[in-house]
Structure formats: C-alpha cells, structure tokens
A and B are shown apart, each in its own frame.
Chain A
Amino acid sequence: MTRIFHRILLAIPTLFGISVVAFALVHIMPGSPVDALVPPDATADVRAQVIHSFGLDKPLPVQYGLWLLNALHGNFGISMGMRVPVNQLLGQAIENTLILAVAAAVFGFLAGTVLGIISSLNQGNWIDRFVSAIGLVGVSVPAYWFAMIMVILFSVKLGWLPTSGMYSQGQQGNVLDLLGHLIIPAISLGITSVGVTSRMVRASFIQVIQQDFVLALRAKGLERRMILWHWLRNAAPPILTVTGLELGYLLGGSILIETIFAWPGLGGLLNGAIGLRDMPVIQAGILLIGTMFVVINIFVDFANARVDPRIQRT
C-alpha cells in the first residue's frame, strides 16, 4: 500500500511537468494566439475584448494556474476552431482512440510474443534470423504507408474490408461492423509494436534460458510445462514494461493512422486542431496523452511487482 502511494507521489512532479509543457506550447507559438481568433482587420477594441474573454491579458503564471485548475476539473476551455467546449469533443474521441489503441496493442503483444518465443527457441538458426528480420521490418516501416498498402490490397483490390471510418452507414453501435472496420487500422498501428515486442521477448527469453535456475529445474526433473511457467514469470517484467510503453506509443501513433482512416478519435481530432492551430484542443490532447502514458507506466510497475517480487525490494 505504501509502495503504491509512493509510486503515485513520484508521478506528481512528472505530471506537473507535462502540464507545463502542454501549457507552454501555446506560448512558443509565433505570434499571439489572438491572431487565430480575430480577423486581421479587427479594431483594437475587438482585439482587447477577445483577449480579455480568453483570459489572455493575465500574467502567464496566473493563466497557467487557472488553466490547470480548470483542467483538473475536466474543463479544458473552449475550442477556438469549433467554438464548443473542448471536453465535449474529447469524450467520445478518447473512447474511440482507446478502442483502436487497445486493439493494436493486443495485436502487437500477441504477434510479438509468439514471434519472439519462436525466435528464442530457435536461437541462431535461419528461423530465428527470419523472424528477427520480420521484427526489424516492423520497427522500420512507416505505419501510415503500411496502412495505405493494406487499404490498396484488402479494400481496393480484394474488397474484403472497408476503407475507412468506424462504422458503415446506419450501423452505429454494431460490434461486428466495428470489428470489420478495426482490422486494417489496428494491424497498421500495431505493426511497430510487433517489431519492438518480438525483439524484447526474444532478448528476455534468451537471457532467462541462460540462467542457472532453469538448469536446476530441469535437473530436478520438473515437467516441461512447469519449467515453461517459471520461464514465463521470469521473462515477463521487461515484456510487460514494453507492452505498457507500446500502448502509450500507440496512443500517439494513432494521430497518423486515424488521419488515414478517418477514425473519429483523439488523433483525428488533434490533427484537425493542428490544421486550425486550435490550441485549447491541442493542449488538452497533449495533456491527456501524457497523463495516460504516466498512468499506464504506474500500472505496469505494479503488474511487474506482482509477477516478480524481486522488483518490489529494489
């Protein structure tokens, strides 16, 4: 319990830093944010009014304090581009992005683990080299290009899967329809994870195989199945860590994939906001992605401590 508390306490300075970065983004923007709000020929009066209504006339630390206080209450201000409260835009978008990112993470984790295990069991021979090559392809391929190729192949040429969107016309909420729409985006988004995970799984398994306790277990005549279990528990922490990190990266990578597939998520929303230089939306998106990343990492730490009690002691 104290450990959990301690870990969360440690995350607070980081979260504070994230909020500073998210806030500072507006102010490294060349020109005043007001320029995006008022027409160039606006009178000084109108300008002053707009500046005042967005609170831009207060000193920076005060602005930051107010922004953070509001953000902590779930109020991210008003979108400059769409003139609606930012949290109205965010709610559904986060859910849609999580659906995509989790699907991609599951794909990356399963495919990566299977490939990594195959690789480590065949250490050094051609199967290992072939599987390792697949892993390297995974980390080197631009995900958005891979997505385009998948669309060309499976949607345009073969016509098996839909090209974009989350649901077909009038199929809102139909899970099967959603799954069909999810396949290509999730695989495209998860392809990098497959590469990273398989490399990590391979390295972690090989390291565990070489440890004395595996030999000891074998020597005392333990069943293969049980040895595998010991093996998995020992190899798990780095794999869990990398999966957690991957989920965080996938939230970021979704910006590209959602753009290609017109997926109505956080990434698509952010991309739109970038085009309009809609800073409240960008700030909120960055703050949320950073925060989710930190939270995921805390979860991973706990999971690791559960799987491997040795970690708890350090």
Chain B
Amino acid sequence: MEIAVKKLEPVKKPDLAEIEETGQRKRSFIHKLYQDPIAWASTIWIVLVIAVAALAPLLTPYSPVSGNVAQRLLTLGSVGHVLGTDEQGRDIVTRILFGGRMTLLMGIAPVAIAAVIGCALGVAAGYFGRVVHAIIMRCLDVFYAFPALVLAIAISAAMGPGVKNTFVALPIVFIAPIARVTESAVKRIKGLEFFEAARASGAGHWMIIRHHVLGNIFRPVFAYGSTLIGISILVASSLSFLGLGVTPPTAEWGNMLGSLKDALFTQPAVAIAPGAMIFLTALSFNLLGDSIQDALDVRS
C-alpha cells in the first residue's frame, strides 16, 4: 500500500560502473542471496506455500467450497479440523491450502503484468523525446494522486467484484511506479558512452532498445518489482476482504477473513489463521525483496 515511499529508494544511487560486467554480476547476485539467512528463510516459506497450494487436493480430504453445516464454527483443535471450521462448516485448513493459490496468483501476476506495461511506458518516456516524455509522465502523475488502495478499490468498485477485474485494477495501481523507475533507469543509460557508441554506429531505435536498454533496465525493475509483490498481496486480500476481489465460494485468505469477521465474537480464534498466512507471506516477499535489492546493490 505504500508504493510512493518505496519508489524513492531504488533509483537513488546509480551503479553505472557495474552495469557492463553482467556475467560477473549474476554470479555475485546469486552468491549474495545464498549467503543471506533472511533470504533463505523467506524463500523457504514462499516455496512451502507454493508447494502446499499446488498439492492442496492431495493434502486434505475436505472440499474447499462446501462444508457440513452441522459442524459450523468449530474451534481450534477440533477432531478432524485442526484450525476449526468457518461459518458454513468448511475446514479452515483446507480453505487456507486452496486459498494460497489465489493469494499467490494475485501477488505475483499483477506485478508481472504491470512490469511489462510499466516498462514499455517507461522506456518510451525515457527514450523518445520530450513530447512523448511529457505526455506519458503527466498522465502517470494522475495515478500518483491516489493512495494505491483507494485506486484499487475505486476501479474494482466500478468494474464489479471478481478475480478478472482484480487483474485489471491491481496492475493499473502498479504501472505508474514501475514506469517511473524504468524511466529514470533509461535516462541514466542514455548518458552512458556505450549508448552514444550504439547511436553513432547507426543502430536503429528498436535495435538499441532491445539490446542496450532492455538488458540494462532489467536489474532495477526486477529489484523494484520484487518489493511490490508483498504490497500486491496485501492490496488484493484487502479487496477480497471488502468483497471486491475473489468472490465466494472460492477460497482466498482475504475473503476468508471477510466472512469470518462476523464470527469474531462467537469464535474469535478461527479468524487468526487466514490473516497470519497473509501476514507471513507478505512479510516473506517483503524480506526477500529487501534482500534482492541489497544483493543487486540497487539501494545505496
């Protein structure tokens, strides 16, 4: 939810000297991550969540969408339902396992979509002259005028609930910050000698963009994008919580909390698990994003 703050960080100190030595860099990047215990811990959690989400049908005998109403709102530690059941008697563990699929998807996919579009806009703004730059950047400024969550809620509210619409609303939120990061990276490259050399050698725009620009903006955009996944998970689950994202009966951690909030006073303990999953997963992605930024040396 805090996009505008983070956008200041990654572009502060250009590390131009290192851009050329790509091979060396890749190895040292992986190596740095390899030595970072926090990166390990967060990666393990993320892999674990991905694994159980993928294997969900094998891990639980229950259905994620239909439950036994006679067993509604069982508490923690009930026989056969370790984390209890929800207001429709569905097993919470099962819903969490299946819900992880949606949450992961809504964390990663919108950022990926936004990265493609944001990069295209950022490259266009940074590469082609002043007029294009002014048009693109001023239009993006408008999206900065809304807090991310408000923008996502507004678009989802207008388009109606559903996963498909979330996949439109969330990328729109992330395009502007990614385009800004890309644009400043492109500007930096434009001032470098190899860029001049490419121009002088008569390479066409497309050639230069493909070979010299895209290769060199990957690092900052990747590093920045990795910090957005945690935010995307939080915003997406907030939408579902409000009834705007993933709609029932499909399980998603945010909409699980949304329906369990009405049971808060009768069976408070069952509301803890889905939120804890959102929290731990967002935290892992944030930690991993920080580690990636450090390893890529994008932050000063």
* A13 within 8 A of partner (CB): yes
* A56 within 8 A of partner (CB): no
* B76 within 8 A of partner (CB): no
Q: Judge whether B147 and A17 touch: CB under 8 Å.
A: no
Residue in chain B with minimal CB distance to A132: B290
* B4 within 8 A of partner (CB): yes
Those of B246-300 within 8 Å (CB) of chain A: 254, 257, 261, 264-265, 268, 271-272, 274-276, 278-279, 282-283, 286-287, 290
Chain B residues with a Cβ closer than 8 Å to the other chain, count: 50
Q: Judge whether A136 and B278 touch: CB under 8 Å.
A: no
The 8 Å CB contact of A25, one of B157, B254, B283, is B157
Q: Judge whether A149 and B272 touch: CB under 8 Å.
A: yes
B122-130, B134-142, B206-214: which one contacts chain A? B134-142
Q: How far is A259 from B272 in the complex, measured between Cα atoms in Å?
A: 18
Those of A100-146 within 8 Å (CB) of chain B: 136-137, 139-142, 144-146
> Which residues from chain A contact B99 at a C-beta distance below 8 Å?
none
Q: Judge whether A290 and B145 touch: CB under 8 Å.
A: yes
> Which residues from chain A contact B149 at a C-beta distance below 8 Å?
249, 252-253, 255-256
A26 touching B158 in the complex, CB below 8 Å, given contacts A18-B142, A145-B278, A192-B2: yes
Q: Judge whether A25 and B242 touch: CB under 8 Å.
A: no
* A282 within 8 A of partner (CB): yes
Q: Is the interface of B mostly helix, strand, loop or mixed?
A: helix
The 8 Å CB contact of A289, one of B150, B158, B271, is B150
Q: Judge whether B279 and A145 touch: CB under 8 Å.
A: yes
> Which residues from chain B contact A260 at a C-beta distance below 8 Å?
261
Q: Whole-angstrom distance from the CB of B198 to the nearest CB of chain A?
A: 32
> Which residues from chain A contact B138 at a C-beta distance below 8 Å?
13, 17
B53-61, B111-119, B185-193, B233-241: which one contacts chain A? B233-241
> Which residues from chain A contact B8 at a C-beta distance below 8 Å?
238
What per-residue 1/0 map shows which CB atoms of B1-20 lie under 8 Å from chain A?
A: 11011001100000000000
> Which residues from chain B contact A203 at a C-beta distance below 8 Å?
9
Those of A17-58 within 8 Å (CB) of chain B: 17-18, 20-22, 25-26, 28-30
Residue in chain B with minimal CB distance to A157: B268
A142 touching B242 in the complex, CB below 8 Å, given contacts A242-B5, A282-B154: no
Q: How far is A136 from B234 in the complex, measured between Cα atoms in Å?
A: 13
Q: How far is A149 from B276 in the complex, measured between Cα atoms in Å?
A: 10
Q: Judge whether A144 and B264 touch: CB under 8 Å.
A: no
Residue in chain B with minimal CB distance to A203: B9
Residue in chain B with minimal CB distance to A279: B158
Chain A residues with a Cβ closer than 8 Å to the other chain, count: 58
> Which residues from chain A contact B5 at a C-beta distance below 8 Å?
196, 200, 242, 245
Q: How far is A270 from B149 in the complex, measured between Cα atoms in Å?
A: 13
* A248 within 8 A of partner (CB): yes
Q: Judge whether A274 and B153 touch: CB under 8 Å.
A: yes
> Which residues from chain B contact A20 at a C-beta distance below 8 Å?
142
> Which residues from chain B contact A270 at a C-beta distance below 8 Å?
153, 157
> Which residues from chain B contact A140 at a C-beta distance below 8 Å?
230, 234, 279, 282-283, 286
* B146 within 8 A of partner (CB): yes
A25 touching B158 in the complex, CB below 8 Å, given contacts A14-B145, A136-B286: yes
> Which residues from chain B contact A21 at a C-beta distance below 8 Å?
142-143, 146, 154
* A294 within 8 A of partner (CB): yes
Q: Whole-angstrom distance from the CB of B130 to the nearest CB of chain A?
A: 16
Q: Judge whether B265 and A253 touch: CB under 8 Å.
A: no
> Which residues from chain B contact A274 at a C-beta distance below 8 Å?
153, 157, 242-244
Q: Whole-angstrom distance from the CB of A205 to the nearest CB of chain B?
A: 14
Residue in chain A with minimal CB distance to B266: A156
A271 touching B242 in the complex, CB below 8 Å, given contacts A142-B275, A249-B2: yes
Q: Whole-angstrom distance from the CB of B158 to the nearest CB of chain A?
A: 4
- A18, A26, A248, A252 pick with most chain B CB within 10 angstroms: A252
Q: Judge whether A293 and B257 touch: CB under 8 Å.
A: no
> Which residues from chain A contact B287 at a C-beta distance below 8 Å?
136
The 8 Å CB contact of A29, one of B146, B158, B272, B290, is B158
Q: How far is A292 from B157 in the complex, measured between Cα atoms in Å?
A: 20
- Contact sample, A vs B, 6 pairs, CB 8 Å cutoff: A21-B146, A29-B158, A142-B238, A142-B279, A253-B147, A286-B146
Told that A256-B238, A277-B160 touch, could you supply 15 new A-B pairs with CB distance under 8 A?
Answer: A14-B141, A17-B139, A29-B160, A30-B160, A136-B290, A139-B2, A141-B279, A142-B237, A142-B282, A151-B264, A245-B4, A245-B5, A256-B149, A270-B157, A279-B158
Give A contacts to B, CB under 8 Å: 13-15, 17-18, 20-22, 25-26, 28-30, 136-137, 139-142, 144-146, 148-149, 151-152, 156, 163, 192, 196, 200, 203, 238, 242, 245-246, 248-249, 251-253, 255-256, 259-260, 270-271, 273-275, 277, 279, 282, 286, 289-290, 293-294
